[in-house]
Homo-oligomer: A and B are copies of this chain.
Amino acid sequence: MDSRIHDILRRNQLSVTASREKILNLFLTNTRALAHADIEHKAGERFDRVTVYRTLQTFVEKGILHTIPTADNSVKYALCKNDCFEGHHHDNHYHFICSVCGKTECLEEFIIPSVKLPKEYLANNVEIVVNGICGACRKK
Contact = CB atoms under 8 A, between A and B. Distances in A.
Interface of A: 67, 69-71, 73-75, 94, 96, 99, 107, 109-110, 113-135, 138-139
Contacts of A129: 69, 126-127
Copies of this chain in its oligomeric complex? 2
Contact of A69 (B70, B119, B138): B70
Contacts of A70: 69
B126 A115 contact: no
A122 B132 contact: yes
A71 B73 CA distance: 9
Contacts of A134: 120-121
B94 A115 contact: yes
B117 A107 contact: yes
B138 A132 contact: no
